[in-house]
């Protein structure tokens, strides 16, 4: 179905259709999601996609343990109910002021004292340096190692930057460490440190490897 639509529609029409479909799913999810929910685990996995981890509450827009629109501004959990929250490559899909900061404030409210949130997202600084130094050829090669079927469909290497920033209208913002640190501080987090995927997996081995440190910034923020 996806391939057929791509052939029939222009790139802009296809992206807008996907966006309308996504917004409909968001609205439907908001109507059906519970107003309150008491979790049976102290570990929250936000934006899980199809990676459902045992021992965690896996949350996404659909097909998860608990379907939520995490951009809605409020999470249905009681205060101080989680020890840890992990979200990988999700926050770039949210606008900073009216979606991400409210979500992070909710995460801060839901975390127990000394609880932590771990985030990863495409690294704007790494991408910019790669563009200046290599016209992103190194990042293209890194992505193709991880995703063999991905390609730029014949476009020059420089288009990688457009793909990273927009991803068919899915991405709203890119972050470097300083911007992500500032955003977390707006939500009440005062201890923010740069980490990597290995640190996340050492703390929580249930997370499968993404092998994406080359293109990502990882942070851990503590309440």
Write down the domain spans for the chain.
1-32, 38-122+174-222
Grade residue 10 by pLDDT with cuts at 50, 70 and 90. Answer: confident
pLDDT tens-digit readout, 95-139: 999 999 999 999 999 999 999 999 999 999 999 999 999 999 999
Which residue has tokens 């009440």? 188
Q: How many residues does the chain have?
A: 223
Reply yes or no on whether the pLDDT at 27 is more than 70.
yes
Q: Which DSSP helix (H) or strand (E) runs through 195?
A: strand 191-195
The Cα–Cα gap between 43 and 21 comes to: 30
**Arithmetic mean of pLDDT, 6-10:** 80
pLDDT of residue 140: 97
pLDDT of residue 82: 98
What are the backbone dihedrals phi and psi of residue 61, each rounded to the nearest 5 degrees, phi first? -70, -35
Determine contact, residues 171/92, Cβ cutoff 8 Å: yes
Q: DSSP code of 98?
A: I
pLDDT tens-digit readout, 172-197: 999 999 999 999 999 999 999 999 99
Strands 82-88 and 111-122: parallel
CATH architecture entry for 38-122+174-222: 3-Layer(aba) Sandwich (3.40)
């Amino acid at each position: 179905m996806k391939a057929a639509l791509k052939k029939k529609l222009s790139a802009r029409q296809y992206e807008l259709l996907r966006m309308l479909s996504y917004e409909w799913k968001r609205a439907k999810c908001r109507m059906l999601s519970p107003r309150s929910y008491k979790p049976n685990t102290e570990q929250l996995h936000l934006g899980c996609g199809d990676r459902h981890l045992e021992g965690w509450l896996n949350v996404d827009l659909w097909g998860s343990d608990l379907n939520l629109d995490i951009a809605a501004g409020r999470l249905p959990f009681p205060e101080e109910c989680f020890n840890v929250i992990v979200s990988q490559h999700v926050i770039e899909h949210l606008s900073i002021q009216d979606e991400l900061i409210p979500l992070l404030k909710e995460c801060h409210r839901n975390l127990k004292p000394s609880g932590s949130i771990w985030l990863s997202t495409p690294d704007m600084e790494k991408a910019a340096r790669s563009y200046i130094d290599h016209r992103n050829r190194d990042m293209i090669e890194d992505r193709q190692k991880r995703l063999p079927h991905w390609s730029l469909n014949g476009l020059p290497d420089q288009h990688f930057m457009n793909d990273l920033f927009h991803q068919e209208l899915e991405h709203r913002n890119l972050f470097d460490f300083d911007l992500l640190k500032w955003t977390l501080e707006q939500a009440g987090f005062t201890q923010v440190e740069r980490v990597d995927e290995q640190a996340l997996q050492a703390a929580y081995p249930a997370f499968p490897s993404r092998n994406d440190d080359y293109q990502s910034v990882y942070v851990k923020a503590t309440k």
